[in-house]
Each structure stands twice: as C-alpha cells, then as structure tokens.
Chain A
Amino acid sequence: EAGVVQSPRYKIIEKKQPVAFWCNPISGHNTLYWYLQNLGQGPELLIRYENEEAVDDSQLPKDRFSAERLKGVDSTLKIQPAELGDSAVYLCASSLAPPRNEQFFGPGTRLTVL
C-alpha cells in the first residue's frame, strides 16, 4: 500500500516569493492534515480536512497561507508571499474516519526561505 506522498521534498525560495506544496493521502483516507514543524519542535497542526471541507483551520495564518482539497483527495498548501520565518518542514498526514484515528504522515517538504 502506498503511503502519503508529498512533493517537492525540498524547496528553496527567496522571501516574498510564492510557494506551493502538494500532498496525496493514502487511498480511502477521508481526513487530511497539514502540519508545520520547526527545527527541534514537534509538528503543529495548520489545517484539517474532512473530505473537501476544512473543519479546523484555526491555526492557519490566513493572511499568507491558503489550502485547498477540491475533490476530497489530494491537497495543496500555498504560502504567498513567503517570509524568512516560514522556513520549516511542512508535513501532510491522513487518517481513516473515527474510531481509527491513527495518522499516517508523509516525508514532508523542507522549505528554506532566503
């Protein structure tokens, strides 16, 4: 069974440029998560989708971050414009519906903003 796929694995951009990350969850997983992980810290939730609906985006900085999951399968997270402080690893995860709440994570995208 294929795991959660993310691309690109690495991205280097200059500040003020836009950037987008793509995630394809495990087949059949209705719930999709985007996390941000700073160096030396645990992941922090940015947004959670149930199918195509964003049900928890309280931690998403909406002035520059946006996300979509148009057909309830793959998802894109965008930053526009990027700032130096956005340098981090962006992780995508997916899970089945409750009570199976185990989350399966992708390898992440490491973003460096110069």
Chain B
Amino acid sequence: DAKTTQPPSMDCAEGRAANLPCNHSTISGNEYVYWYRQIHSQGPQYIIHGLKNNETNEMASLIITEDRKSSTLILPHATLRDTAVYYCIVTPNSGYSTLTFGKGTMLLVSP
C-alpha cells in the first residue's frame, strides 16, 4: 500500500474552511484516496473517497491533484464538532481493501 504524509496538527477558526492536505506521491493507478476522521473516544468515521476526480458529499469535498500525488480534504464551514483526527488513506478498491491508518492530522476548531 502507498504511504501518506499528513501534518500532525492544524488549527481552524469556527465557520472558516478547513483545508487538510495529504501527500501520497507513491500512489498506484488502482489506488483510491480515502478520508476518515476520529472524534475523541469514538471509532473512526468514513468521510469521503475518490480516485482522480474531485468529489463532494454532505460532509466534505475532496480535491485530488491531476498527477494524483496529493489531495486536500475541505470542510467548507468548520464547526467545533469537526475537531478530530483526520486520516488520509490510499488503498486499492478492487476486492476487499485494507485500511492502513497513519497518525493523521489533529484538527482543532476554535471559537
């Protein structure tokens, strides 16, 4: 599996957009980019995933660069409840994929 690099921590003001970067320069052609987050004392929660096109759902947007070597998760209007550890994971989507979690980015949203 390709490895990812994320900043250990980020801050964001409530109501502003949170842009969380992820580097995955060794990603293979069949690997997807997945994002999960983990709020304190809870299990991880799926957010979004994509292959090469930008994706948007009710939680977030995922922007993947054209060369697919990096991506950005965007929370358009961060709230205090978005404070969590955000994990960027690359994994094949063929068959049953294994999630290999790194340490993620601790996002702190402040009033």
Contact = CB atoms under 8 A, between A and B. Distances in A.
Interface of A: 4, 31, 40-45, 48, 50, 55-56, 91, 93, 98-99, 101-108
Given A42-B87, A42-B104, A107-B41, A102 B98 contact: no
B96 A31 contact: yes
Given A40-B103, A41-B103, A107 B96 contact: no
Nearest to A99: B93
* Chief secondary structure at chain B's binding surface: loop
Contact of B43 (A55, A102, A105): A105
Interface in B87-106: 87, 91, 93-104
Contacts of A56: 98
B44 interface: yes
Interface string B28-48: 000000000000011111100
B45 A105 contact: yes
B101 A42 contact: yes
Contacts of A93: 43-44
A42 B34 CA distance: 14
Q: Which of A31, A41, A103 has the most C-beta atoms of chain B within 10 angstroms of its own C-beta?
A: A103
A55 B96 CA distance: 10
Contacts of A31: 96
A107 B42 contact: yes
A108 B45 CA distance: 12
A44 to B, nearest CB: 7
Contact of A101 (B41, B87, B97, B102): B97
Nearest to B102: A42
B49 interface: yes
A8 B82 CA distance: 27
B102 to A, nearest CB: 6
A106 B43 CA distance: 6
B46 A42 contact: no
Contacts of A107: 41-43
Counting from the closest, the 10 A-B pairs by CB-CB distance are A42-B101, A105-B43, A102-B46, A101-B97, A105-B44, A43-B101, A91-B43, A106-B43, A108-B43, A107-B43
B96 A48 contact: yes
